[in-house]
Amino acid sequence: MTADQLDALQSKAPHSYLSSFSPLQVFQQHQNLIWQYQNDAVLICDDALHVLAVNPAFQRITGFCADEVVGQNVELWRSGLMNKRFYRQVAQTLEKNTIWQGEIWNRLKYGSVFPAFLTVCKQTVSPAVGCFVAIFRDLTAQKEAESHAHNHTRYDMLTDLPNRLLFAQSLTRFCSSEAPFALMVLDLNDMKTINTTMDHFTGDEVLCAVAHRLSGRLRGNDMLARIGGDEFALLVPGIVNRRQAEIYAKQVMGCFDWPFQLENQQLYISAAMGVTLWPADSKEPDLLLSNAEQALFEAKKLHVPLRLYNGELRRNLQSRNRLQQDLANAIKYHQLSLVYQPIWDITHQRVVKLEALVRWNHPERGAISPGEFIPLAEESGLIQGLGQWILLHACADLVRLRKLGFAELQMSINRSTPEFQTIDLDAKEWLTTIIDMGLDPKSIIFEITESLLMSNQESNRQRMRALRDAGCRIAIDDFGTGYSALSYLRSFPIDVVKIDRAFVRSIPEEKQECLLLDGIINLVNSLGMSLIIEGVETRDQLAYLQARQCAFIQGYLFSKPLAFDDLVTYLQRVSTHPV
Ligand code: C2E
Ligand code: MG
Ligand code: MG
């Protein structure tokens, strides 16, 4: 500020300060302050809060030049965002401590507001020229950076939707607002397959497209969040009963009715949803979320798009937990057993292989199907222990059969995907068990499912190779029931393909089914793999398969799975009287 400018200011200065100081005096006493702060605004005012002087940074930050503010009351750039109580507290603090520091919103010359960090000192030296010195720093850039970082902690970077944290906070807020709402949790089907068979960019593209479509289905106050990889949640206020919830949920799920147009392709995506209501199902955020997830789990299990939570669901879950506990005990206390289903070589009219199938006779519930308890064992991590028990006992029974004179039989043993994926890469655990029992690994076939091929991991290929190098055979079980894994068949070391009984059920009557089966048989033959047809129940089916040179057949037509002693009787009978 030049002396000329200061003189000019003098004419505008209010009386309270004119009477005691000239602007030159203010400037002289505070020039250090005024020039020292290059980035922070400095302002000096009298006890009636009229401005005496400002520094150049003040002008840069607020847009007001010195001429416009000197002599004005500091209220000129109050933002209106701080209430009277705030200013009262500042005044009280200054009274006591002579210094106040804190954040404040001020107004720029052209009206917009900005955040500032303000330090106000009350002058105590005597004679004080000016009563207050205020120094403030513009916090706009810092706040923007903070809010950006803050957004990253509360918003999903991929879809820009609220993330799990913000969703959880909103759920708690919804619960405490005492107004009815529905919580809906939605999970995409087959997202894993998309990520493994395509690439992660496509996966990301799908998620963004889904987020966009779902957002388009929302009403004004609904909230949509991405709470996990392919899991979304909706908070829908105003839903008071199940009927309303169902109508709304169906309307949301309608967005999956037509294909998603991605950059290079069209994809049909489907999803499952679980729904729960506040306050009908629970008033607690945690319980509500767990209800919705249970309903979602149930929808997935039943392969339906939508499930509403109800008390029965919770009871089901409890009984599943109990069953899991029982299964753990059954494994521990050897309440499980194995049965064996013969696999026939119909060209040579003899049993050449056996499939080991596990059985559980529950003390209260009676026989429980492996179709029910194997998935339970997979979910609960019991499958590894169970699988090891099965391998050991199947090998032991094969040794017994050898001793009884059935020297050529091979044993086919089912392996769950999680079981296969958790053994070491050289499959030593399994090979050691087989060899320690005195068996040649050539007599063991491991049945795995298509889903294992779909994950297309090099580690799985390595395990298969290790088993094969040692002499074991690898079979693909239930072929054709999962995703079409035709291209994978070629790229994995596979010896045997077991065609699921679904393909055999309607032959020879249904012509379409016959064509499909013929196609699969030709394909497997042309890949040089052998073929086992499962679930053959009728003589017509057998004749049809015989005509197509299918050598290996398994099914109730020949035999149901048999307990060990019955198997021995059966094998003895058919070795002398082939069927
Ligand atoms: P899977 O491996 O495809 O086994 C064949 C299933 O089809 C067996 O059912 C068998 O009893 C049944 N089956 C065989 N022939 C016929 C037929 O002609 N008609 C009909 N309707 N069914 C027939 P099971 O024993 O209930 O086993 C079901 C599934 O449970 C098995 O399917 C397999 O995926 C799993 N499983 C069974 N035992 C084991 C095991 O020891 N370990 C593992 N990981 N899974 C097992
Ligand atoms: Mg099997
Ligand atoms: Mg099968």
Per-residue pLDDT of 349-383, as tens digits, reads 999 999 999 999 998 889 999 999 999 999 888 99
* Contact (Cβ atoms closer than 8 angstroms) between residue 53 and residue 72: no
Q: CA–CA distance from 97 to each of 89, 253, 418, 520 (Å)?
A: 12, 62, 68, 89
371 lines ligand 1 (CB under 6 A): yes
**Nearest protein Cα to ligand 1, atom 25:** 357
Rounded Cα distance, 170 and 81, in Å? 26
pTM: 0.62
Give yes or no: residues 170 and 271 share one domain. Answer: yes
Domain membership flag for residue 320: no
Within a domain: 333 = no
Ligand 3 centroid from CA 502, angstroms: 10
| Sign (positive or negative) of CA dihedral 26, 32, 38, 41 | negative
Ligand 1 atom index nearest CA of 419: 44
Same-domain status, 512 and 461? yes
Whole-number Å distance, alpha carbon 562 to ligand 1 midpoint, is 12
Query: Whose structure tokens read 């879950």?
Result: 317
Pair (263, 212) in one structural domain? yes
Query: Can you say whether the dihedral through the CA atoms of 1, 55, 112, 8 is positive or negative?
Result: negative
pLDDT at 19: 33
Q: Whose CA is nearest to atom 12 of ligand 1?
A: 535
508 and 477, same domain (yes or no): yes
Report which secondary-structure segment, H or E, holds 496: strand 496-499
Cα–Cα nearest to 501, from 564, 437, 556, 551: 556
Q: Are 401 and 409 in contact (CB under 8 A)?
A: yes
The residue segments making up the domain with residue 7 are 3-140
Answer whether 483 contacts ligand 1 (Cβ < 6 A): no
Residue 210 lies in a domain: yes
Query: In Å, what is the CA distance from 331 to each residue of 172, 326, 346, 361, 383?
Result: 42, 9, 36, 12, 10
Q: Which ligand 1 atom lies nearest to the CA of residue 338?
A: 41
> Measured in angstroms, how far is the CA atom of residue 498 from the centroid of ligand 2?
8
CATH of the domain at 521: 3.20.20.450
Give a yes or no: residue 289 inside a domain.
yes
- Kindly report the backbone phi and psi dihedral angles of residue 123, in degrees, each rounded to the nearest multiple of 5, phi listed first: -70, 135
Domain co-membership, 349 together with 471 = yes
Give the pLDDT of residue 148: 73
Q: Is the CB of 246 under 6 A from ligand 1?
A: no
Domain CATH for 107:
3.30.450.20
Q: Report which protein residue has its CA nearest ligand 1's atom 38.
A: 357
Mutual angle of helices 370-380 and 311-332, in 10-degree steps: 90
In terms of domains, do 173 and 28 share one?
no
In this structure, the answer to whether residues 380 and 466 fall within a common structural domain is yes
Domain count for the chain, please give it: 3
Confirm whether 96 is domain-assigned.
yes
Residue 331 lies in a domain: no
Question: Cis (ω within 30 of 0) for the bond into 508?
Answer: yes
Atom of ligand 1 nearest to the CA of 478: 3
Residue ending a domain, choose from 140, 172, 196 = 140
Give the pLDDT confidence score for residue 357 in this predicted structure: 98
- In sequence order, what DSSP letters do the residues of 434-468 get, joined into one string? HHHTT--GGGEEEEEEHHHHHT--HHHHHHHHHHH
Which among 500, 555, 568 is positioned nearest to 531, based on CA atoms?
Answer: 500
pLDDT value at residue 14: 35
How far, in Å, from the CA of 225 to the mean position of ligand 2?
Answer: 41
5, 66 Cβ separation under 8 angstroms: yes
Any idea which ligand is nearest the CA of 478? 3
Q: Ligand 1 within 6 A of 162 CB?
A: no
CATH code, domain carrying 290: 3.30.70.270
- C-alpha 38/C-alpha 266 separation (Å) is 58
User: Can you read off the two tokens belonging to residue 181?
Assistant: 């709402």
The DSSP 8-state label assigned to residue 105 in this structure reads E
Q: By three-state DSSP, how is residue 116 classified? A: strand
Model pLDDT, residue 66:
86
- Ligand 1 centre to CA of 561 (Å) is 9
Pair 167, 215: CB distance under 8 Å: no
Nearest 10 degrees: Cα torsion 154, 160, 162, 163: -70
From 262, 286, 309, the end of a domain falls on 309
Strands 99-107 and 113-122, by their bridges, are antiparallel
Q: CB burial class (10 A; 0-12, 13-18, 19+) of residue 215?
A: middle
- pLDDT tens column, 214-262: 999 998 889 999 999 999 999 999 999 999 999 999 999 999 999 998 8
31 belongs to a structural domain: yes
Residue whose pair of structure tokens reads 């997935």 in the numeric block: 300
Asked if residue 81 belongs to a domain, the reply is yes
- Ligand 1 atom index nearest CA of 556: 18
Verify that 358 and 304 share a domain, yes or no: no
Say if ligand 1 is within 6 A of residue 556 CB: yes
Whole-number Å distance, alpha carbon 356 to ligand 2 midpoint, is 8
- Euclidean distance between CA atoms 369 and 359, whole angstroms: 7
Ligand 1 site-directed mutation target among 414, 481, 503, 554, most atoms within 8 Å of CB: 414
**Predicted pLDDT at 483:** 61
* CA 432 – ligand 1 centroid, Å: 26
Question: Do 463 and 561 fall into the same domain?
Answer: yes
- Looking at the fold, whether 495 and 416 belong to one and the same domain comes out as yes
Within this chain, do residues 99 and 57 fall inside the same structural domain, yes or no? yes
- pLDDT by 10-residue block (mean), the chain, 579 residues: 40 36 58 72 87 87 87 81 81 85 84 85 66 87 77 88 94 92 95 77 92 92 94 96 96 94 86 96 94 93 92 84 92 91 95 98 91 91 93 98 96 95 93 97 95 79 95 93 70 92 92 92 91 96 94 96 98 81
Sign of CA dihedral 481, 487, 491, 493: positive
Q: Give one word for 436, left, alpha or beta, with left for phi > 0 and alpha for psi -120 to 50.
A: alpha
- Statement to judge: residues 193 and 258 lie in one domain: yes
Q: Is 535 in the pocket of ligand 1 (CB under 6 A)?
A: yes
Last-in-domain residue among 254, 284, 309: 309
Does the CB atom of residue 1 touch ligand 1 within 6 A?
A: no
Rounded to whole angstroms, the Cα distance separating 223 from 181 reads 11
